[in-house]
Structure formats: C-alpha cells, structure tokens
A and B are shown apart, each in its own frame.
Chain A
C-alpha cells in the first residue's frame, strides 16, 4: 500500500471542501468475483471501521492473558469472546500508556479516542470539564469513506447513563472536534426509523426528495451568509452545520438507490423497576447495525456501550451500585463481574457480524474494530497498561489471535494508527502533541 504523510487537519478540511460526491453502489447490488474476495470489477470488498467503547476500565488480573504472542488462553473477562466463537478474530494489546497530560477519566477518554490531549474547558464547579482537541478516530475514518454511503457514520448508544457536568468527554463518544459531538442514538425504534423508515417506492418520494433538497440548499446558502458575520469560533461551528446539511443531501441522493432488505421493526425494551434491559437493547442495536453494514448504508460505526465514567447499574451481574461508584468503593469483584457482562454484550455484536456472510467470508472478516475504555482500572484511575482489543481481519490487513504486550509502555495512539491503517486510511502518523506516533503496532499489522 502506498503511504504518504498527510496533515490530519488538512485531510479533514480538504475533504470538507470537495464538491463532487463519489456515489458507491450498495454491495448487495453488485456481483462478487468468483473467489468471493472482491467485487466482480476487481475492487476489494469494503472494510468497515468500528469503535466500541465501554466505561470505567477493567480488572487487569482477569483481562490480560498470561502468555504473549499467539496461542494464549483468555482469562475470565475475555472468555465471553471465546464463548461467542469470535476469539480468533481478536488481538489483545496490553502495556500501552496514554502519554498526554493526566486528569482522571478525561485524559484517558480523549487520548484513546483521538490520540491527542484533552481540551480543558475549566475548573468551574465540582471538577474539570473537558472536550476533545481533535476528531475521534471514527470521524477520521468516516471522512475517508465520505460520499460512498448514505450515512457517513452510525453512532449508537446502549446504556442510557450519561454524565451531566464534565463536558462532552463524559457525555459522548464520537466527536468532530471540540464541543462538537455526534450524539449516539439510544432508541432502537428511532434507529430503525432512521435507517429503514423511508420507503423510496412511494410515488411521491422523488418529488418530496427534490423539495427537501431545495429547502436544504437554501439552508446551506443561509449558513454561508451567516458565516460572514460571526467570530472565528462560530465560523467553525457553522462549518459543521453546513457539513451536516450536506450529509443529509448526500443521503437523499443515495437512499433511493439502496436495495436493502428491511428488517422487522424493533420495540424499545422498557425498564422494569428501574432496571435497564441492557442485553435486550444491545441485541436490537447490534442486529440492526449488522444489517446496516451489510447493505452498505455506512462503513463506519461507533457504539457507546457506556459513556466515560458511566454510573450504569449492572444489576444483571449482581452490582450493588452504579459502575463508577462501585469502582471508587473498590468493590472490585463486582466490578469484575460487570466487565464480564459488558464483554458478553460486545461479543454479541462481533458474533452477529461474523454470522453475516459477505463474499466468501463474513462482515467481521472485513472489519477493523477498536474495543476500549478510558483507563485501566476504576479504583486507581491509572492510564498505563491500557485495555485495548482489536476485532476483525480488515480484509486481511489485520493479523488476529495475537497478544501484544508492550515491553516499555508504548503510546496508546499506536493502536489507533494500526486500526485506521487497516481500514485503508493512508496514514503514516497519527495524534498530536504527546499523543503523536509515527508507527503502529507492527505485531498486528499484516
């Protein structure tokens, strides 16, 4: 693969400025070649990029395999992947460290999702508030695939708890830039309506689509006009608004061409006596995500299973409190059980991707997924020995079955660079400031 260095900002802004859209056809409409490893015209099957995030760290003694290299045996917290039949699609990366300036939760969350330092918003009130200083890796990947699918990326949420007072870092996963989140959809019904709710067969669909585009065109003109009259910060905020309007227009043009088989409509599971039906919600969201990826509605996803520092109450695994307070109370055995439950949910999604055929293989064969959290362990909030998994073979770009343990606390951003490269991004470096790296984890790159 040819590699060249690209300044990340230029890369993102440059993509924003381009006027032409490259329309890709959904994979299902195309023929595969006779080996099932590429489309009939020789273009390789698309690689999907995913970020799957859970809050509050792990218990390392139950997470890190004893052996390194290949042939290791999973401990209890990774056993769910073996149970779901997807262990062979994983790499375990241990011993890496967040190198950016520390603040409990905040620096780990922003560091592991962007490769860059957090942006502190202030010390007002109980703690600090922060946001990212750079886009998160799913956004970076989405810019790469921009214009190829109706949805640039899909952002899903599972556990409902979100922070309220510590900035976007405690509220969101996917970020375009500082204070600029792509909020997750937490309702299975709404996700369904968004992805599968329009019916292009409606005779008025084409007319209505044209009318909607006319209105959106007008809105874009207004945004540009307004931008002439505001400060620098607001100009950037309106750039994002402009891009968002444009993404709706792209979708309107591509949706009519999509021939996805519509799955059956879900019903949001209700809380019972305050107990959140997490596994049921995770199943609905994961099932829909697999369908959406299979019919190429999007090539990028993020799953905010829980937010950073989440206080989700994992009654399913016998928790006696929210996850974050349990960590602080050093209820480590209960924390461990909650991590096992959480990994069962992650393994469910991976198993669904594996069960979705594509060409000669399956969706997981063609995915590059990073699975991680915001620090190593919740009782100490340390950000060395960071828990990181990769899942999927990325169409052959990722090795699998490897436990790579860093001998000298390498930079966590190396893992980000590896999974982005595996998804086809031509990057030779990633991250900024102390987070910047110029090499990936070579042990997992093919």
Chain B
C-alpha cells in the first residue's frame, strides 16, 4: 500500500483501545546483526536469537513456484524464438513480503488465470503450427500421419525444453495419443501437434517450477534438489528464464548436484549479459521502485513534479546500480555514499546541475555526473526521497523507516490499533522537526519513533520530491541526530554512518537470499546467511560474488522435508 506506512508510524494522538495498547517494538529481522538499537527484540520470524543452533542448516520445505509474468514471457520467447509474439494477457504477479518470487511460491491458478494460460498456450501453438516453415523447423520433420515416429521424437526433445526435465514414458504416451486423437479428427497431424504443444504449455510442469527434492545419496540425513531442479533454480534466478540447452545437458550429466559442476554453470550464467535484467529486478523490488509508478504529489506544492519525473528518478537508481555491479563489478555499498550519480536532463534540472551534454537529449539519455555538493548516494536520490514522503510534505518517519527496514533489515511494528495517525495541522513557521515533537514527548510513540524520525530529519534539506531547499519554510534546518548512539550532522554524514552499520552488508545478502529462494529465511538458515555475509565482506562487497556464493550455498542446494 502506497502511503500506509508513513501514517501508521505517526502515532500522535490518543490510544483508542486501552486493551490493545501494546508498546510497539522493534525487532531485528533475523538473529544476526544484534543491532545496538534500543528495544531490539528477537526476530520477526520467531527467532530467539539462539546463537548455539546457528550452524545446523534446516532448509526450507520445497514449494511450487508459479512462473512470474516475466519468467513466463522470457521462457516462451526462448522456447519459440522470434517466431511468435509472446502473449501479454497474463495474470499479474503477486508481491509478498517484498518480492514477487515469494508471492509466486504461494499463489495458485484460479479459474480466470487458467483461462488466460489456456488462451496464451493456444495462441502460441497456433502461431507456430499455422505457419508451414515455422512448424517444420520446430518439429524437425514432416509427419506423414499422426502415427509418424518423428512425432514422438519431437515430444521428447521439445517436451524436455518446455518442462525443464525429461518426460516419462507415460507422459510421452499420453501426449502422443493426444496428437493422434486430434490429428485424426481434423485429418491433419499438424493440428494434433498444435494441440499437444498447447498441452505442454498448459501443464503444471511448465507453469510451476516444480521443486521437490530427493534424498542426498552422499548423506542420508538430508535432502537435496535434483539436477533438473537445480537447472531451473539457477536459470530462473540468474536469467529470469527457462534453462538453456547447455544447462539441461549439464543436469543430464548429473553435474548440477556436484559443487564443481554447479559452480562452473553458475559462473557461466553470471558472466552473461542476461544476469543484468534479473538483478535489476531484485534491486527494484527490494527498494519498492514500483511505487514510483503511482507516485502521488501535489503539483501546487511541487511545481517541478511532472508525469515524466518518476521515470527519471527510477532511471537514476537503476543506472547507478548497473554501473557499480556490472560496469565496475565494484563495492556495492558505494550506492549509499557515492559522490557520482546518473541523471537525465529533467533530473539534472531538479538537482540544479548544469549538464550541457544533455541539451536536447531524450529522457532515456542518462550520463554520469558529479553529484551536487549536498548529495551523496541512495538516500539523497529523488527517487528514494519522493517515494518515502507524503503528497504535500516530507515524511522523516517514512524515510527513517526505509533505512531501518529496507537497508538494515530491522523490523518496526505498526502502532497499536486506535492510534489517530494524523499529525495536527502545521502552525505558521513550524518546522517538521517541531511538528514531530509529539513523537518524542509521548512515551508510547517515542519507543519506535526515536528509531526512525532522527534518521529522516537528517534529510530535511530535501523536499517531498527530493529537491534541495535551504530552509523549511522560513526556518533554518537542524539536521543533526544520532543513529544507535553515533552522532551525525546532515545527509552526507548519515550516508557514511549507514554504510558502516553492522547490519548493512548482511541485509543486502539477506534480501538477495529471500529474492532468490522465494521465501523469508527462517532460524535454521541463519548459518548460511552468516556465511554469505562473511563471503560478501571478503569479496569487497561485490554483488556478483555474493550471487555466486548464494546459488552455490547449501541454503540454495538443499531441500527441507515436504510439509
């Protein structure tokens, strides 16, 4: 929900329901980090922070993941090539706990969704089999009748691509029967093949990534993901699409259940340009950049707001991310305090930077520039500042909460029920800091708000769309504060401080782990997360190194018991 968070966190006013007046608490999400924040209490996932049990991996139970819209579309494009127009009318993804991959592991296929999948499958099959050249290329023969032996060869080889594993004899029999039944009734084997191909695409074996796991032959006490399951796990995380022939071949040779084979294939996929859109998806979902699509700003208060500005804001963040991860393969923490950034013409104007080379260039053109002197990194980008603000004002609470929950993986509970979450109207010349004074004087509010508001107040030089301002109205700004005991003065010092927070690096690893595995980590995975954080640190915080460590880690390779 776009604007909920900010208001939930403004706990001014009265507690309406005395019985529900539990003190809001902050929990560090996961047992690591042991944040110095006061009020930290255990994990949001039920952890008691018991360090003694951290090393024993308890993998999450396997789950079916429905292909996301982009995975479905990429898979169809890779399976059929440029021969088909990829269907667009598909059910939208469900984002759960921050990531569509987590949503994909919980959604099912409702009636209307199944209809769309059926229509898409029939459409794709018809595009291919309605074209003599295309169908002969795909099937690699001209079947004389529905009983032609080459039909079974096609079903076996293409079926393996579509289902990402070899088909059983029974499965081939039933598909071959479909070809002959339909082929006979239409007196045309091609039509039989068309419907059998549609059936492959309507199948749960295509629409769901089937993770089941199998006993580990080397260790009877645990279960691992099988070779073909690993092929799909790797490919959909790293490329957002179906495994290519080389990956399926490696699975067929039993190499993806070996560390060496897995590492070799993972490195091959990571070296490919196809990694880029997949990791941009992780980055965008983690920062909730989709909220920029529905940004709501009052143009009377913010005359610089325009229909094209949100895309420019997103562009800056994505360019900065791609630059550090792909162009430089550098320390990804630079995102938080880099002195350089990327702007297009509209953003340069908002930032008050003169970039003559952008004159007359389209909105798609971004160039790397020195940041304006008052800006350093992520927290001072317009995209983050505008997303975590209100329609007509800034929101130090939301900005502070962003740092706590998204960058440091700490959890802050919403205020208890019945709290009136509306700030009193501003008095003349009252600063935001003064308006938020209630958050500090009311003890119930202060518990949480002392964790959020001071961080956000450091960013008060940036208005609700991220434009720099000297003053808040007519008042000079006080942008000093403390973060878990460490003092800072203004946005630049805050950025440096966030970078050195003990939770910052591990939080990147934790969020990537959630994105890649499609579930929120549980206590039994803490050892894996600690090891990943350690490797990430040792690599100099290179994201591609973290990705490699992650997909070759035991947390990615081993399956829990079926629930």
Residues of chain A at the chain B interface (Cβ within 8 Å): 102-105, 121-129, 152, 155, 161, 163-168, 170-171, 176, 179-183, 185, 190, 194, 207, 210-212, 214-216, 218-219, 221-223, 226, 229-234, 236-238, 240-241, 243-245, 247-248, 273-274, 309, 311, 313, 320-322, 324-325, 328-330, 379-382
Pick the contact of A233: B63, B92, B181 (CB < 8 A).
B63
Closest to A221 in B: B174
Contact B1 A123 (CB under 8 A): no
Contact A163 B1 (CB under 8 A): yes
Q: A170-B1, A240-B109, A247-B114 are in contact. Are A226 and B291 (CB under 8 A)?
A: no
Interface membership of B191, Cβ < 8 A: yes
Contact B4 A125 (CB under 8 A): no
Interface membership of B249, Cβ < 8 A: no
Contact B4 A127 (CB under 8 A): yes
Q: A241-B204, A311-B2 are in contact. Are A330 and B422 (CB under 8 A)?
A: yes
Q: A223-B204, A321-B298, A328-B3 are in contact. Are A164 and B288 (CB under 8 A)?
A: yes
Contact B178 A214 (CB under 8 A): yes
* Bound CA span A163–B294, Å: 10
CB of A239, distance to nearest CB on chain B (Å): 8
Stretch at the interface among B93-101, B326-334, B496-504: B93-101
Closest 7 CB pairs of A and B: A244-B114, A126-B5, A231-B562, A231-B563, A215-B199, A237-B108, A240-B108
Of listed A185, A238, A381, residue having the most chain B CB within 10 A: A381
**Chain B residues near A236 (CB, 8 Å)?**
108
**Chain A residues near B5 (CB, 8 Å)?**
126-127
Contact A125 B63 (CB under 8 A): no
Contact A166 B1 (CB under 8 A): yes
Contact A311 B115 (CB under 8 A): no
* Bound CA span A231–B392, Å: 49
Contact A226 B112 (CB under 8 A): no
**Chain A residues near B421 (CB, 8 Å)?**
328
Q: A104-B8, A231-B63 are in contact. Are A168 and B94 (CB under 8 A)?
A: yes
CB of B232, distance to nearest CB on chain A (Å): 15
Closest to B288 in A: A165
Contact A226 B205 (CB under 8 A): yes
CB of A159, distance to nearest CB on chain B (Å): 12
CB of A223, distance to nearest CB on chain B (Å): 5
Q: A102-B20, A168-B94, A231-B62 are in contact. Are A211 and B110 (CB under 8 A)?
A: no
10 contacts between A and B (CB under 8 A): A102-B417, A122-B44, A124-B97, A126-B8, A164-B2, A182-B112, A218-B175, A222-B171, A226-B204, A273-B307
**Chain B residues near A274 (CB, 8 Å)?**
307
CB of B111, distance to nearest CB on chain A (Å): 4
CB of B41, distance to nearest CB on chain A (Å): 12
Pick the contact of A241: B96, B108, B171, B413 (CB < 8 A).
B108
Q: Told that A124-B98, A161-B294, A183-B91 touch, could you supply 15 new A-B pairs with CB distance under 8 A?
A: A104-B8, A122-B520, A125-B411, A127-B1, A164-B2, A185-B112, A218-B199, A226-B210, A231-B63, A231-B563, A238-B108, A241-B114, A244-B110, A248-B114, A321-B392
CB of A54, distance to nearest CB on chain B (Å): 16
Contact B110 A320 (CB under 8 A): no
Tell me the total A-B contact number using a CB cutoff of 8 A. 222
Pick the contact of B202: A167, A211, A219 (CB < 8 A).
A219
CB of B298, distance to nearest CB on chain A (Å): 7
CB of B178, distance to nearest CB on chain A (Å): 5
Q: A127-B414, A231-B62, A321-B298 are in contact. Are A328 and B563 (CB under 8 A)?
A: no
* Bound CA span A322–B2, Å: 10
Contact A183 B422 (CB under 8 A): no
Pick the contact of B111: A103, A238, A244 (CB < 8 A).
A244
**Chain B residues near A165 (CB, 8 Å)?**
1, 95, 98, 288
Contact B122 A126 (CB under 8 A): no
* Bound CA span A214–B182, Å: 8
Interface membership of B29, Cβ < 8 A: yes
Contact A164 B7 (CB under 8 A): no
* Bound CA span A165–B8, Å: 15
**Chain B residues near A309 (CB, 8 Å)?**
1, 4
Contact A214 B181 (CB under 8 A): yes
Pick the contact of B290: A164, A243, A244, A321 (CB < 8 A).
A164
Of listed A104, A232, A379, residue having the most chain B CB within 10 A: A104
Interface membership of B355, Cβ < 8 A: no
**Chain A residues near B562 (CB, 8 Å)?**
230-232
Contact A328 B7 (CB under 8 A): yes
Interface membership of B250, Cβ < 8 A: no
Contact B203 A222 (CB under 8 A): yes
**Chain B residues near A164 (CB, 8 Å)?**
1-2, 95, 288, 290-291
Contact B61 A231 (CB under 8 A): yes
* Bound CA span A166–B3, Å: 12
* Bound CA span A167–B91, Å: 16
Interface membership of B164, Cβ < 8 A: no
CB of B204, distance to nearest CB on chain A (Å): 5
Q: A129-B97, A211-B186, A218-B174 are in contact. Are A183 and B212 (CB under 8 A)?
A: no
CB of B121, distance to nearest CB on chain A (Å): 8
Contact B111 A211 (CB under 8 A): no
Q: A125-B98, A167-B96 are in contact. Are A179 and B108 (CB under 8 A)?
A: yes
Interface residues of B in 154-190 (CB under 8 A from A): 171, 174-175, 178, 181-182, 185-186
**Chain B residues near A183 (CB, 8 Å)?**
91-92, 110, 112-113
